[in-house]
């Protein structure tokens, strides 16, 4: 296998993506991502200096509308679909005030 | 209609069903009951559905029958059962994306396509299985188990819209909807021997389609006939104020031109098409060119040099967009949560438990491609390659009205064949990916069989918004397909 990406780099990426990997999963992910990056090296030799990046199939611009009152989603129905809610809000574990 | 014995047979296409229902020849209730009976008979072998909506379908059928009985027209899809890929939001009805992370989530709104289908008189009969969050080419990456190919249950139906393709191939519904980000409608259509269409980007509203890669995703139809696919696509297309990327124009007009034929049409053969198609598929492609020539088309050679780089561009861009889109599954707003003492630990525990292996792989790949130090080398270059591919297709379309390629490199493969090697699975999308990058439409139409008597699909590609030309080419191929 190639070493296009190291286990340390994969571990960092997993942390950024809020995923935790076991040691086995880390080894496997390193192997598989290296394989993919090997394949993706086919574009390395292309001269792309003068090419404009294409982020979207069609030219898009922000869509504006008049600032008038409209119906929106029902709050109770939205909160009912969440894992936890209280007093009309999403309920989450503590964010601040932890000891560490 | 009659079968060989002279006994009348029930209508099987959406067009025939709607005609029968609108003219009070068969009730919507009877239509729904015979499709539910077919599901009852074979679903345990196929597993096309995550959820069969029997009660809801019966109630809706009764409404339609009531409308017909008082002389109201329920619409062009009157009484037509339709299966929806389970990444399309249905209000109050679970929408899972075949992921544990959406366990228990019921959307508080309907996708725009659901509203349009309702207005056209269609009946949603169930939510179909998919590769988790539409990431895969075999419908094996589902938290609820794999879907099987109705032509051979030891084989995959393709993916990611494998459940929707299998549902139509098995006769569970005459039509269904899937989503196509890199081939997820066209490849399973080819493997299941049905028609599958990825429309022009922006032709169909994405409002209520759970996002995978927003600049690539598009909803489209599966059907047993080109005419049914045309009717369904017309019914769901058109601008939607709820989707700012939907094109500012009315519904596509396709059916009117469906029988115009291909006389004088320039059909392009891509001389530098990436290799990898198996001989049985290549043989059918050659035969498709021959049939179109015999029908009056002119076959022209074109080059699309950047076609071959599509796979790389796609597998950097799609995961990058996915890593951003899927950041919303954090245990706060939707479905599943794993409790932990603080929010950061809760996010981590929820996502680690809720996502399957392929989704994690793509999130990590995308996060890497976007991360500091690698952005320019991977994501940035992929966007430039995307522009190059679009430019090459635009040049090819100066000389050709449509292009023909295989939809899938091979016929349906066996379950488990590609699950241990992600790269081999990704190669299934070689021929379908470019049209997602460019935004142009593409469709797969069944054209005879290949190895082991399994269906082969020919892909017809056309420039943006040229669906009518694409469909009439497909209609000729359908008519002249080897039996």
Rg of chain B over Cα atoms, rounded to whole angstroms, equals: 21
**Using a CB-CB distance cutoff of 8 angstroms, which residues of chain B are in contact with residue A83?**
331-332, 334-337
When scoring A13, A38, A70 by the number of chain B Cβ atoms within 10 A, the one with the most, hence best to mutate, is A13
Residue of A93, A96, A99 best to disrupt the B interface, most CBs of B under 10 A = A93
Report chain A residues whose CB lies below 8 A from the CB of B351: 17-19
Residue A87 CB burial class (10 angstroms; 0-12, 13-18, ≥19): exposed
**B348 close to A18: Cβ distance less than 8 angstroms:** yes
pLDDT at A65: 86
Cβ count near B169 (within 10 Å): 25
Tens digit of each residue's pLDDT, chain B (483 residues): 444 555 567 899 999 999 999 999 999 999 999 999 999 999 999 999 999 999 999 999 999 999 999 999 999 999 999 999 999 999 999 999 999 999 999 999 999 999 999 999 999 999 999 999 999 999 999 999 999 999 999 999 999 999 999 999 999 999 999 999 999 999 999 999 999 999 999 999 999 999 999 999 999 999 999 999 999 999 999 999 999 999 999 999 999 999 999 999 999 999 999 999 999 999 999 999 999 999 999 999 999 999 999 999 999 999 999 999 999 999 999 989 999 999 999 999 999 999 999 999 999 999 999 998 899 999 999 999 999 999 999 999 999 999 999 999 999 999 999 999 998 999 999 999 999 999 999 999 999 999 999 999 999 999 999 999 999 999 999 999 998
Mean pLDDT of chain B: 96
Residue appearing with tokens 């000891």? A99
Q: Nearest chain B Cα to A63, which residue?
A: B244
Cβ contact B383–A55 (<8 Å): yes
Minimum CA–CA partner of B213 in chain A = A56
Query: What is the spatial distance between Cα B240 and Cα B112, in angstroms, rounded to a whole number?
Result: 8
Query: How far are the Cα atoms of B257, B402, B442 from residue B296, in angstroms, in the given order?
Result: 16, 14, 22
Instruction: Report residue B187 as tokens.
Output: 């490849």
Nearest residue of B to residue A58 by CA position? B439
Contact B385 A58 (CB under 8 A): no
- Residue B83 vs residues A43, A74, B197: alpha-carbon distances, Å: 39, 27, 15
Residue A34, classed as helix, strand or coil, is helix
Q: Which residue has the tokens 């209520």?
A: B208
Q: Do A13 and B202 touch (CB under 8 A)?
A: no
Alpha-carbon distance B445 to B37, whole Å? 28
Record: contact A90-B365, CB cut-off 8 A: no
Cα-flanking dihedrals φ and ψ of residue B174, to 5°? -70, -25
Residues whose CB is less than 8 angstroms from the CB of residue B1 and which lie 6 or more positions away in sequence, other chains included: B8, B9, B11, B16
The residue of A34, A41, A43, A60 whose CB has the most chain B CBs within 10 angstroms, and thus the best one to mutate to test that interface, is A43
- Report residue B336 CA to chain centroid gap: 27
Task: Give CA–CA dist B249/B452, Å, rounded.
Answer: 45
Which sign does the torsion angle of CA B468, B83, B363, B429 carry? Answer: negative
Instruction: Answer yes or no: do A51 and B202 touch at CB < 8 A.
Output: no
DSSP string, B7-68: -B----SHHHHHHHHHTTSS-HHHHHHHHHHHHHHHHHHH--EEEE-HHHHHHHHHHHHHHH
- Among residues 194-223 of chain B, which lie with CB inside 8 Å of chain A? 201-202, 215
Q: Which residue of B364, B435, B440 is the best one to mutate when testing the A interface, meaning the one whose CB has the most A CBs within 10 A?
A: B364
Active-site residue list of B? 85, 160, 184
Q: What is the pLDDT of residue B277?
A: 97
Confidence of residue A96 (pLDDT cuts 50, 70, 90): confident
CB B336 within 8 A of CB B354: yes
The ipTM estimated for the assembled molecules is 0.94
Task: Name the minimum distance, in Å, from the CA of A69 to any CA of chain B.
Answer: 15
B212, B119 contact by CB (below 8 A): no
Q: Do residue B337 and residue A90 have CB atoms under 8 angstroms apart?
A: no
Determine, for residues A56 and B245 on separate chains, whether the beta-carbon distance falls below 8 Å: yes
CA atoms B12, B15, B16, B19: torsion sign: positive
What does the angle CA B162 – CA B167 – CA B171 come to, to the nearest 5 degrees? 150
Please give the pLDDT value at position B3: 46
Is A57 close to B315, i.e. CB distance below 8 A? no
Q: Looking at residue B143, what is its pLDDT? A: 98
Upstream peptide bond of B160 is cis (omega within 30 degrees of 0) = yes
Domains of chain B: 14-257 (3.90.1300.10)
Query: Which chain A residues are closer than 8 Å to B315 by Cβ?
Result: 36, 40
* Cβ contact B231:B255 at 8 Å: yes
- pLDDT grade, residue A100 (50/70/90)? low
Chain A residues 3-62 within an 8 A CB cutoff of chain B? 5, 9-10, 13-14, 16-20, 29, 32-33, 35-36, 39-40, 42-43, 46, 48, 51-58, 60, 62
User: In A, which residues are within 8 Å of B205 by CB distance?
Assistant: none
pLDDT, tens digit, for every residue of B340-351?
999 999 999 999
Tokens at B5, concatenated? 């014995």
Nearest Cα residue to B393 out of B309, B462, B457, B465: B462
pLDDT at res. B306: 98
Closest-CA residue of chain A to B247: A58
């Amino acid at each position: 296998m190639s070493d296009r990406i190291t286990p340390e780099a994969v571990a960092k990426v997993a942390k950024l993506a809020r995923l935790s990997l076991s040691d086995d999963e880390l080894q496997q992910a390193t192997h598989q991502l290296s394989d993919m990056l090997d394949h993706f090296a086919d574009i390395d030799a292309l001269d792309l200096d003068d090419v404009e990046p294409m982020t979207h199939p069609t030219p898009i611009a922000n869509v504006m509308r008049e600032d008038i009152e409209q119906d929106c989603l029902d709050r109770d129905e939205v909160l009912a679909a969440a894992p936890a809610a209280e007093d009309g809000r999403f309920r989450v574990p503590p964010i601040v005030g932890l000891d560490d | 209609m009659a079968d060989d014995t002279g006994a009348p047979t029930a209508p099987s296409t959406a067009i025939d069903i709607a005609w029968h229902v609108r003219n009070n020849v068969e009730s919507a209730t009877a239509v729904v009951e015979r499709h539910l009976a077919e599901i009852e008979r074979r679903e345990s072998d196929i597993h096309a559905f995550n959820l069969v909506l029997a009660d809801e379908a019966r109630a809706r059928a009764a409404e339609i029958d009531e409308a017909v009985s008082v002389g109201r027209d329920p619409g062009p899809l009157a009484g037509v059962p339709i299966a929806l890929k389970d990444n399309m939001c249905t209000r109050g009805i679970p929408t899972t994306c075949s992921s544990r992370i959406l366990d228990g989530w019921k959307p508080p709104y309907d996708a725009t396509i659901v509203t349009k289908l309702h207005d056209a008189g269609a009946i949603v009969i169930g939510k179909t299985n998919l590769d988790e969050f539409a990431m895969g080419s075999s419908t094996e990456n589902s938290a609820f188990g794999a879907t099987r190919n109705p032509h051979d249950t030891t084989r995959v139906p393709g993916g990611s819209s494998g459940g929707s393709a299998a549902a139509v191939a098995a006769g569970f519904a005459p039509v269904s909807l899937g989503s196509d980000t890199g081939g997820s409608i066209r490849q399973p259509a080819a493997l299941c021997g049905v028609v599958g269409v990825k429309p022009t980007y922006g032709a169909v509203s994405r409002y209520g389609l759970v996002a995978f890669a927003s600049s690539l995703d598009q909803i489209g139809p599966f059907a047993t006939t080109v005419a049914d696919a045309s009717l369904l696509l017309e019914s769901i297309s058109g601008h939607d104020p709820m989707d700012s990327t939907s094109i500012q124009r009315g519904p596509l007009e396709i059916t009117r031109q469906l029988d115009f034929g291909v006389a004088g049409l320039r059909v392009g053969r891509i001389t530098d098409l990436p290799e990898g198609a198996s001989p049985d598929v290549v043989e059918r492609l050659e035969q498709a060119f021959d049939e179109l020539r015999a029908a009056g088309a002119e076959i022209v050679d074109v080059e699309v040099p950047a076609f071959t780089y599509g796979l790389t561009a796609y597998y950097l861009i799609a995961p990058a967009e996915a890593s951003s889109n899927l950041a919303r599954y954090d245990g706060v707003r939707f479905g599943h949560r794993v409790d932990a003492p603080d929010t950061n630990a809760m996010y981590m525990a929820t996502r680690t438990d809720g996502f399957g292996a392929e989704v994690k792989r793509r999130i990590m790949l995308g996060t890497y491609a976007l991360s500091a130090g690698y952005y320019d080398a991977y994501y940035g270059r992929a966007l430039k390659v995307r522009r190059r591919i679009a430019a090459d297709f635009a040049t090819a379309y100066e000389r050709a009205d449509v292009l023909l390629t295989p939809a899938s490199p091979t016929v349906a493969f066996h379950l488990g064949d590609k699950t241990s090697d992600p790269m081999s699975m990704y190669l299934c999308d070689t021929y379908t990916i470019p049209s997602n990058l460019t935004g142009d439409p593409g469709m797969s139409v069944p054209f005879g069989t290949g190895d082991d008597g399994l269906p082969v699909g020919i892909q017809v590609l056309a420039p943006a918004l040229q669906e009518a030309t694409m469909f009439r080419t497909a209609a000729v191929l359908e008519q002249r397909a080897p039996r």
